[in-house]
């Protein structure tokens, strides 16, 4: 259906302008229709094809987008963005050779756009062209030092190039300079470093912060070859060598622990330590041994395990193991989720759905036997009525657990789906398979709680397109306490091995460097950016009306849980229901932070907290 103004549109320019208006409003179907009308009236104008392709790209219609990017390029071959976005669309389809050509054409037109080299490096990684990928990642850093994830990508490319021989190659240093140059990097990369003497140190520093220790060692040694009298480089090299030795000692201690106490958690911790050393094959063996000791655990939760299996091509193998266990233990709840996760990781979403549905049926049958005494109707799966969207470490686990104890709330099989954030490539049926089937006429609600939603780009729009009337709950915690709590949780999960000071100072350094250019949605600013709540709320409230949000202060929620829950139940139109115990779920214990660090963090957040209070008309009084 065209816009109401269709009868007033006569020229291709008018249709294109209308399409641009719809594109700004993210009404992609209407934008597409208007751009097509413009093309019908003026078929030889590249600009219309380009914008049509952009709208099709937003709809994830990759093939049609590619056709229109090609048409735009045929009509105007000197516009770099057509090639760049063509490369992005080709990458979505895994057409890596073609994507490489598109990015190279982009660079020929605009040699100073870092994202072209960044995405070209990613495509070359998929083709296992490690040297070329390394060169392009180095060029990214030369142009712009802090693009998201660049040092991790470079570090991984170095690891892939040398694979299992890396430790030997590092220990073989020093060598004669010509051999050394040839041994570590190709001629193009070496030439780039020689032309930019500070680049090797900058790269090594970035790799160190990204915990890519082997790569850091290599580049500090290259830096020493180029700057042989620089004592600071020698000191930095020694520091990362010491860190590598420390990691090696940690692995030895964990192996000794396993000799004394062979359990799942010991093998899991060993696997984590091995991944920090980029010893992926050994890590997979350790994870597999932990799983075999106790297959009936919620292994689906530990994303780092699945990343290791995927990296080493072992997903099919672990799927077979979980399937055999599930068939032998059909009453095991976790076994269905583990098979479902393995199938999901293999992108067999449709095959995973029955396992999630069975797990959901069994959970609901156990908790509410009367509800499932009749046949389970998968066609009547209940869509979520509410979502707790955040914030991470704000109290979402406690709130969710209080909610699901209400007799009129039926829980899904997981608290956190993360579908609308970083699992959006799965199908909507995959998502709904996690929810119960509720018979018609029953006054029952269901919902989930995924704190990843609040600060993930595009999530607000995705949920809005799914359900404009859904109710959204948010717990906001003092951002200083939130950041510290998240750090300690990640330490407990073995996802973080830096000191608190290192982690926080790293974030502060990036945030202070160019505050006017800060992208608060960027994952690399994990601990602190998440606490700039006002930036994320603006996006959510640009779509959903204020009355669809219930925003609670975490400190009040913990101090007065019964009164807070009454507000929640009123918001959800549910009758009052008091619990016998308002337990604090997922609470962590850790020592207080240094007062100077707390003051520094409080000073950083003060202006953002004031902006938040003004925006919401609420007082938080955080210090």
Q: What percent of the chain has pLDDT over 90?
A: 70
Q: Which domains does the chain have, with CATH numbers?
A: 262-367 (1.25.40.10), 378-616 (3.40.50.300)
Cis amide bond preceding 174, omega within 30: yes
**Interstrand relation of 549-553 and 471-476 (parallel, antiparallel or unpaired):** parallel
The answer to whether residue 228 scores a pLDDT higher than 90 is no
Which of 372-386, 450-464, 492-506 is predicted with the least confidence, judged by mean pLDDT? 372-386
Q: What is the pTM of this model?
A: 0.77
The answer to whether residue 90 scores a pLDDT higher than 60 is yes
The answer to whether residue 141 scores a pLDDT higher than 80 is yes
Burial 470-505 (b: 16+ CB within 10 A, else e): bbbbbbbbbbbbbbbbbbbbbbeebebbeebeebbe
Torsions phi, psi for 606 (to 5 deg) = -55, -50
- Which tens digits make up the pLDDT trace of 158-178? 988 876 455 544 454 444 333
Mean pLDDT (whole number) for 430-439: 89
User: Whole-angstrom Cα distance, residue 515 to residue 519?
Assistant: 9
Q: Given pLDDT bands bounded at 50, 70 and 90, which one contains residue 502?
A: confident
Mean pLDDT (whole number) for 233-261: 93
End-to-end CA distance of the chain: 53
Q: Given pLDDT bands bounded at 50, 70 and 90, which one contains residue 91?
A: very high
pLDDT of residue 197: 83
Mean pLDDT (whole number) for 598-604: 92
pLDDT of residue 254: 95
One-character DSSP codes across 187-237? HHHHHHHHHSTTHHHHHHHHHHHTT-HHHHHHHHHHHHHHSTT-HHHHHHH
pLDDT of residue 7: 53
The answer to whether residue 375 scores a pLDDT higher than 80 is no
Mean pLDDT, the chain, whole residue set: 89
pLDDT of residue 43: 95
Contact by Cβ (8 Å): 393, 477 = yes
pLDDT of residue 517: 53
Place of tokens 């066609």: 379
Which of 34-38, 275-279, 395-399, 562-566 is predicted with the least confidence, judged by mean pLDDT? 275-279
pLDDT of residue 560: 96
């Amino acid at each position: 259906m065209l816009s109401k103004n269709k009868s007033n549109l006569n020229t291709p320019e008018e249709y294109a302008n209308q399409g641009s208006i719809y594109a700004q409003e993210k009404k992609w179907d209407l934008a597409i229709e208007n751009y097509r009308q413009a093309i019908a009236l003026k078929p030889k104008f590249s600009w219309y094809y380009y914008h049509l392709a952009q709208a099709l790209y937003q709809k994830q219609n990759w093939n049609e987008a590619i056709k229109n990017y090609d048409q735009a390029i045929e009509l105007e071959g000197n516009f770099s963005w057509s090639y760049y976005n063509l490369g992005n669309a080709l990458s979505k389809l895994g057409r890596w050779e073609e994507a490489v050509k598109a990015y190279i054409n982009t660079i020929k037109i605009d040699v100073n756009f870092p994202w072209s080299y960044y995405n070209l490096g990613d495509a070359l990684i998929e083709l296992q062209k490690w040297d070329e990928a390394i060169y392009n990642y180095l060029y990214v850093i030369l142009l712009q030092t802090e693009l998201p994830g660049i040092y991790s990508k470079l570090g991984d490319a170095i690891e892939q190039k040398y694979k299992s021989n890396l430790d030997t190659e590092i220990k073989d240093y020093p060598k004669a300079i010509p051999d050394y140059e040839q041994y570590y990097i190709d001629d193009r990369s070496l030439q780039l470093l020689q032309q930019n003497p500070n680049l090797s140190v900058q790269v090594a520093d970035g790799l160190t912060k990204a915990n890519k220790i082997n790569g850091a060692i290599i580049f500090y040694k290259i830096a020493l070859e180029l700057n042989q009298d620089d004592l600071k480089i020698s000191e930095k090299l020694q520091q990362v060598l010491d860190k590598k030795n420390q990691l090696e000692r940690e692995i030895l201690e964990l192996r000794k622990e396993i000799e004394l106490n062979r359990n799942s958690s010991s093998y899991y911790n060993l696997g984590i330590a091995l991944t920090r050393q980029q010893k992926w094959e050994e890590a997979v063996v350790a994870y597999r041994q932990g799983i075999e000791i106790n297959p009936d655990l919620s292994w689906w939760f530990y994303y780092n395990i699945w990343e290791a299996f995927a990296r080493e091509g072992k997903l099919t193998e672990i799927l077979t193991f979980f399937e055999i266990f599930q068939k032998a233990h059909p009453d095991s709840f976790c076994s269905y989720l583990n098979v479902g996760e393995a199938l999901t990781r293999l992108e067999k979403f449709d095959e995973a759905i029955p396992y999630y549905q069975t797990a959901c049926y069994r959970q609901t049958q156990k908790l509410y036997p009367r509800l499932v005494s009749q046949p389970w109707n998968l066609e009547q799966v209940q869509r979520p009525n509410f979502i707790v969207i955040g914030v991470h470490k704000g109290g979402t686990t406690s709130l969710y657990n209080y909610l699901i104890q209400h007799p009129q709330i039926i829980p899904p099989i997981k608290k956190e789906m993360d579908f609308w954030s970083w699992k959006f490539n799965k199908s909507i049926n995959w998502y709904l398979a996690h929810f119960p089937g509720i018979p018609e006429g029953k006054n029952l609600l269901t919902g989930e709680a995924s704190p990843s939603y609040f600060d993930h780009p595009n999530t607000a729009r995705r949920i809005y397109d799914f359900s404009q009337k859904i109710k959204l709950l948010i717990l906001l915690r003092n951002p200083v306490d939130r950041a510290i709590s998240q750090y300690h949780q990640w330490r407990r999960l073995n996802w973080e091995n830096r000191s608190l000071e290192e982690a926080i100072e790293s974030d502060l350094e990036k945030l202070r460097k160019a505050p006017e250019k800060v992208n608060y949605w960027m994952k690399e600013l994990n601990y602190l950016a998440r606490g700039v709540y006002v930036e994320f709320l603006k996006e959510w409230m640009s779509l959903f009306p204020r009355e669809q949000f219930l925003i609670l202060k975490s400190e009040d929620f913990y101090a007065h849980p019964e009164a807070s829950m009454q507000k929640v139940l009123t918001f959800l139109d549910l009758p009052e229901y008091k619990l016998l115990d308002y337990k604090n779920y997922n609470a962590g214990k850790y020592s207080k932070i240094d007062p100077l660090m707390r003051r520094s963090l409080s000073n950083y957040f003060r202006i953002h907290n004031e902006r938040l209070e003004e925006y919401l008309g609420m007082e938080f009084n955080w210090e």
